[in-house]
Amino acid sequence: MKSVETPDYEVERHVVVDPKATALIVVDMQNDFVKEGGALVVGDAEKTIQAIKRLLDLARRRSMAVFYTQDTHDPGDPEFPIWGQHVLRGSWGWQIIEELTPRPTDRVIQKLRYDGFFGTSLDHELRLRQVATVIVCGTVANICVLHTAGSAALRGYKVILPIDAISAITPFDFQATIRQTSFLYRGTITTSEAISVS
């Protein structure tokens, strides 16, 4: 197998955001992707729970908008030939993991495809809150996280990617996500601990 060199990228050690103009988006942290027995478990997903909790704590303490995406499928979904049946609406696997249970003040966006913006009200709701920056975390990094981060960037949002709060199926997928977010979408690469509010 041919090895591939990962292009360099900078991990910012201190990132300051305006809580009134920033939203945290937690992507697809659902039982099917995170917990043993799930239909499409990402091996490193559980390791990101504490970092995501850290981001949620910061957001809630400083009244930052919090959004969750919830991958949602019904029987016969066109994704099933690719991935098999997963996150069936109303099932255990569809539910957001207990450790990251949304609060009543958080917004859960059910999405039908990889991109959290496609066919949803996410962009509209962010604009109503006058959000300019999004912190995107969760799983699966090179699919739903990347498509959501990229879609945000294409709509003019500044994207922050805390790499200890994302997980991927393979190390290649993980690095590809960071490369694309950094280079293609001009996102800020950082860690959960490096983010603070002004």
pLDDT tens-digit readout, 62-99 = 999 999 999 999 999 999 999 999 999 999 999 999 99
State residue 98's pLDDT score. Answer: 98
DSSP H helices, the chain, are 31-34, 49-61, 80-83, 122-128, 146-154, 171-179
176: DSSP letter = H
187 part of a folded domain: yes
State residue 8's pLDDT score. Answer: 87
The two three-digit tokens of residue 70, written as one number: 């919830």
pLDDT averaged over every residue in the chain = 96
4 part of a folded domain: no
Parent domain of 171: 15-197
Query: Which residue is catalytic, options 35, 71, 106, 111?
Result: 111
Q: Beta-strand (E) ranges in the chain? A: 15-17, 22-27, 65-71, 107-111, 133-138, 158-162, 188-190, 195-197
188 part of a folded domain: yes
8 part of a folded domain: no
Q: How confident is the model at residue 1 (pLDDT cuts 50, 70, 90)?
A: low
2 part of a folded domain: no
From the list 128, 181, 112, the residue with the least C-alpha distance to 152 is: 181
Task: Specify the CATH number for the domain of residue 63.
Answer: 3.40.50.850
Which comes out higher in pLDDT, residue 114 or 8?
Answer: 114
Report the pLDDT averaged over residues 4-18.
92
Query: Which residue is catalytic, options 106, 144, 158, 164?
Result: 144
3 part of a folded domain: no
Query: Distance of CA 14 to CAs 61, 131, 144, 190, 195, Å?
Result: 19, 20, 26, 8, 6
The pTM is what?
0.96
6 part of a folded domain: no
Q: Assess whether 77 carries a catalytic annotation.
A: no
Q: Assess whether 137 carries a catalytic annotation.
A: no
Q: How many domains does the chain have?
A: 1
Report the pLDDT averaged over residues 134-156.
98
Report the pLDDT averaged over residues 1-28.
92
7 part of a folded domain: no
State residue 7's pLDDT score. Answer: 84
Q: Assess whether 28 carries a catalytic annotation.
A: yes
